[in-house]
């Protein structure tokens, strides 16, 4: 997990016709006053995501208006001693050819520290949480050609990475071999195919795993950026406006960007366009480029934003999210009814279908990819293995999804390691998620008695979390509802991993053991996101099924998957990563998604059956195959209700649940309490 950011100043940015931004004038200076936070604020926000290193690089763009062509040459210089010798050599060759350097105003420019005064600036920032590779790395990475990469993601397939390599370094090498775009046409040239060179969209499309990327291609003076097709890594964008002409990308919003908004508003008022937090937006999933140029007429450097097509067929299929079979034929329905009858009169596992076994295999491979211990990770943990250090944790409610992940993690992780199960409660031992978590640990100990399971009980009092609430508000930004805030606080506290554990023999009753303070050191956290969307786990799925049968259910599930990047994943990634932890989503593995789409919908869910049976039917069968019989019949319970943070939030902000429901049903604006603004 890393934090990445970019601020572009002094450039007129516009979008291609397929996008939706009019051209705006550039900010007058990289130090203009419009920005409501400083670069140090941005670095501080990123540092939580990347505690191992933090650095930055600047690229200065300069327009050569001495050229006689209509579109002028752009010259770039990289800040930093490592690059200075290379750039000075280029500068000397350029001066010899052109006699002098000219700026956007047509006048000769004086030099500052051996370089010309710049007309525009690209400021790259990278904070790193390193989990792979032998040697430590510091982002941004710069290669010998002047290409710059800041990367937040994991490569689980598509590009070969051996166990000793760092995937960011390998990606920089792969991108460095790509054919340059045509700097005058801002397009990928046909010569790429002729030369059998990869294109940047081709390389990024091939990656299996979550990613967000910002990449400067020096040869074409082109900036590339984007996030994976599912949106598993956060990347926020500030599109230039008349008030603030900068173009910005960041993994997260700085806290100070909401401090200057008096009377922070949530809910209805935000929907009506009055929310000042709309400085940032979630960048829609995809691959984008900005090609830079300069017109002789006014000398301004401009950049045109374009969105590129995915080059991988599997990615396109996942985006379409079309299932092989949606509506059962009469004979399929009859077989399904017979199967239900058999389950009612015999052992459930005996009647489990082949599709469930196929999903189990895909899920286990997904967990294995996300928990294999790479070289640097082993180097960190081997010296303290005797302390039973837990390298991987699970966000754990004791519900169906987290129980499956915990059981699969046990099968994939060396048994010398403990597994931390992170459980949050806002109602002590009485919260539903705490009750199910305790029951879940007992079932896990039954199927895996040799594993050292640690249930980390994280108890919170919402009335004492004012500072933390304000911080989480910046993390969920641009999400802005009480539901987002409640979920964000619960995720942030869980990922922080500070709580209590019962020390002693695993098979003892917890109440008879010593309760000690504990903080999880796991840097990888498995999260069950995507299970409900793909397997019909929400109540609205049953409603759609009753209203529109199988086709209505399919369309609702498709909608959920196609908007999960905006509604869930960016928010969840930001809240978890702020603790220096990397969220990994096994249910959103590309192969798992494809496997589930290859299974008929009536095998995935049967919403004619009661809750706890027909919803997420195929995952309930997977749980039974793992021996998790008690977990296989648990009903769906959202984190905000299972932890009871929603109840406590309603009492704090509205006085009661009833008052909160009346406010959400009315037209009044929802405001955060004054003590948080």
For position 336, what pLDDT does the model report? 59
pLDDT given at position 71 = 45
Beta strands in 10-119 (DSSP E): 12-15, 53-64, 71-78, 111-112, 115-116
In terms of pLDDT, which residue wins out, 664 or 366? 366
- Higher pLDDT pick, 256 / 559: 559
| pLDDT band (50, 70, 90) for residue 10 | confident
Neighbour-count burial of 160, counting CB atoms closer than 10 A to its CB (0-12 exposed, 13-18 middle, 19+ buried)? exposed
- Which pLDDT score is estimated for 242? 81
pLDDT attached to residue 656 = 62
Q: Tokens 């023999």 — which residue?
A: 505
- Side-by-side strand order, sheet with 498-503: 514-519, 498-503, 453-459, 419-425, 392-395, 524-526, 582-584
> Could you give the domains of the chain?
3-20+35-85+115-177+200-263+276-315 (3.60.20.10), 354-379+387-463+486-638 (3.40.50.620)
**pLDDT for 20 beyond 80:** no
Q: Sort 259 into a burial class: Cβ within 10 Å, 0-12 / 13-18 / 19+.
A: middle
Q: Binning pLDDT at 50, 70 and 90, where does residue 510 land?
A: low
Q: Which of 188-197, 283-292, 468-477, 651-660 bottoms out in mean pLDDT, i.e. has the lowest?
A: 188-197
Which of residues 497 and 96 earns the better pLDDT score? 497
Kindly report the average pLDDT of the chain as a whole number.
Answer: 82
Which of 10-19, 76-85, 155-164, 508-517 shows the lowest mean pLDDT across its residues?
A: 76-85
3-state DSSP of 313-382:
HHHHHHHHCCCCCCCCCHHHHHHHHHHHHHHHHCCHHHHCCHHHHHHHHHHHHHHHHHHCCCHHHHHHHH
Instruction: Please choose, from the candidates 257, 254, 255, 274, the residue with its C-alpha nearest in 3D space to the C-alpha of residue 670.
Output: 274
Q: Which of 338-352, 419-433, 473-487 has the lowest mean pLDDT?
A: 338-352
The answer to whether 33 touches 325, Cβ cutoff 8 Å, is no
Structure tokens at 106: 């047509």
Strands 265-266 and 670-671: antiparallel
Question: What integer pLDDT is reported at residue 182 of this predicted model?
Answer: 58
Residues 390-421 pLDDT 10s: 799 999 999 999 999 999 999 999 999 999 99
Read off the pLDDT of each residue in 632-654 and give the average, rounded to a whole number: 89
Q: Is 423 helix (H, G, I), strand (E, B) or coil?
A: strand
* Banded model confidence at residue 301, pLDDT cuts 50, 70, 90: confident
Of 59-63, 640-644, 660-664, highest mean pLDDT = 640-644
Q: Is the pLDDT of residue 131 over 60?
A: yes
**Which is more confident, 505 or 512?**
512
With contact defined as beta carbons under 8 Å apart, do 275 and 480 qualify? yes
Residue 69 has pLDDT above 60, yes or no: no
Q: Rounded CA gap, 392 and 306, in Å?
A: 39
Q: For residue 488, is pLDDT > 90?
A: yes
């Amino acid at each position: 997990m890393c934090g990445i950011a970019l601020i572009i100043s002094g450039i007129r940015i516009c979008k291609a016709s397929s996008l939706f931004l009019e051209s705006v004038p550039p900010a007058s200076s990289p130090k203009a006053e419009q920005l409501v936070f400083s670069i140090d604020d941005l670095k501080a926000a990123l540092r939580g995501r990347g505690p191992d290193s933090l650095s930055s690089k600047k690229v200065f763009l300069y327009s050569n208006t001495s050229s006689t062509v209509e579109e002028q040459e752009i010259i770039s210089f990289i800040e930093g001693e490592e690059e200075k010798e290379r750039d000075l050599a280029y500068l000397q060759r350029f001066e010899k050819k052109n006699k002098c350097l000219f700026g956007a105003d047509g006048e000769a420019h004086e030099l500052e520290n051996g370089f010309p005064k710049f007309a525009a600036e690209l400021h790259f920032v990278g904070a790193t949480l390193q989990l792979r590779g032998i040697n430590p790395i510091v982002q941004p990475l710069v290669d010998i050609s002047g290409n710059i990469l800041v990367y937040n993601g994991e490569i689980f397939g598509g590009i070969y990475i051996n166990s000793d390599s760092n995937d960011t370094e390998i990606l920089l090498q792969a991108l460095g071999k790509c054919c340059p775009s045509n700097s005058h046409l801002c397009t990928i040239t046909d010569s790429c195919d002729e030369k059998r060179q990869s294109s940047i969209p081709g390389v990024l499309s091939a990656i299996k795993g979550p990613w967000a990327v910002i990449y400067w291609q020096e040869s074409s003076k082109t900036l590339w950026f984007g996030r994976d097709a599912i949106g598993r890594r956060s990347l926020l964008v500030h599109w230039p406006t008349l008030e603030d002409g900068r173009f910005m990308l960041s993994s997260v919003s700085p806290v100070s960007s909401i401090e200057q908004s008096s009377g922070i508003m949530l809910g209805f008022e935000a929907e009506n366009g009055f929310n000042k937090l709309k400085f940032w937006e979630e960048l829609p999933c995809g691959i984008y480029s900005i090609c830079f140029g300069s017109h002789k007429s006014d000398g301004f450097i401009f950049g045109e934003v374009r969105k590129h097509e995915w080059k991988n067929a599997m990615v396109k299929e996942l985006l379409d999210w079309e299932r092989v079979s949606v509506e059962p034929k009469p004979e399929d329905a009859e077989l399904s009814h017979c199967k239900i009858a058999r389950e009612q009169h015999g052992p459930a596992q005996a009647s489990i279908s082949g599709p469930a076994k196929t999903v189990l295999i895909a899920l286990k491979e997904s967990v294995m990819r996300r928990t294999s211990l790479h070289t640097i990770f082993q180097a960190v943990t081997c010296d303290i293995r005797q302390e039973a250090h837990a390298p991987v944790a699970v966000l754990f409610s004791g519900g169906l999804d987290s129980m499956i992940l915990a059981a699969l993690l046990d099968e994939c992780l060396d048994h010398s390691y403990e597994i931390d199960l992170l459980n949050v409660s806002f109602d002590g031992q009485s919260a539903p998620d705490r009750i199910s978590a305790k029951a879940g640990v007992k079932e896990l100990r039954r199927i895996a008695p040799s594993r050292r399971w640690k249930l980390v009980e994280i108890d919170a009092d919402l009335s004492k979390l004012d500072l933390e609430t304000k911080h989480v508000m910046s993390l969920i930004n641009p999400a802005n509802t009480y539901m987002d805030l409640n979920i964000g606080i619960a995720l942030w506290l869980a990922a922080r991993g500070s709580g209590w554990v019962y020390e002693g023999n695993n098979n003892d009753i917890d109440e008879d053991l010593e309760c000690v303070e504990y903080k999880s050191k796991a840097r990888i956290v498995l999260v069950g996101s995507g299970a409900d969307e793909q397997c019909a786990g929400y109540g609205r799925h049953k409603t759609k099924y009753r209203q529109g049968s199988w086709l209505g259910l399919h369309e609702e599930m498709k909608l959920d998957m196609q908007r999960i990047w905006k509604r869930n994943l960016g928010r969840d990634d930001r809240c978890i990563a702020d603790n220096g932890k990397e969220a990994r989503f096994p249910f959103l593995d590309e192969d798992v998604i494809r496997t589930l789409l290859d299974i008929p919908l009536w095998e995935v869910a049967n919403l004619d059956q009661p809750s706890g049976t027909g919803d997420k039917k195929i995952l309930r069968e997977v749980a039974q195959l793992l021996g998790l019989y008690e977990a296989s019949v648990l009903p769906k319970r959202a984190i905000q209700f299972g932890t009871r943070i929603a109840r406590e939030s309603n009492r704090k902000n509205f006085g009661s649940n009833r008052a909160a429901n009346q406010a959400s049903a009315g037209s009044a604006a929802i405001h955060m309490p004054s003590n948080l603004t």
